[in-house]
Amino acid sequence: MGDNVVVINAERVTVTGTKTTSKLTTKMYHRHSMYPGGHKSISLRDQLQQHPDRVLRAAVWGMLPHNRMGRALLKHLKIYAGPNHPHSTNNPEPLA
């Protein structure tokens, strides 16, 4: 069946970058609605403020194979912005 990974406090993630060009402003996330003019871009700083779980999910998805197996593995990843999560009854063990 495989193990599940629960990530909490995603809102407290930090990124590295040089002082002249910070990754918070230069790294962009793009999406398209498939309609003409439907291209949307958002910076890492704004994405962390609005949806911090999507930042980590996109980073992990970039490291997985982009096929059926990668999509199946990504379903085992649970990411939460704060310290509260509904998996406390499963007795998750913190990773040191």
Report helix, strand or coil for 44: helix
Chain segment 37-70, per-residue pLDDT in tens = 999 999 999 999 999 999 999 999 999 999 999 9
- pTM here is 0.83
Q: Angle at CA 51, nearest 5°, toward 60 and 53?
A: 30
Phi and psi torsions of 55, nearest 5°: -65, -50
Domains identified in the chain and CATH numbers: 5-86 (3.90.1180.10)
pLDDT tens, position by position, 29-39:
999 999 999 99
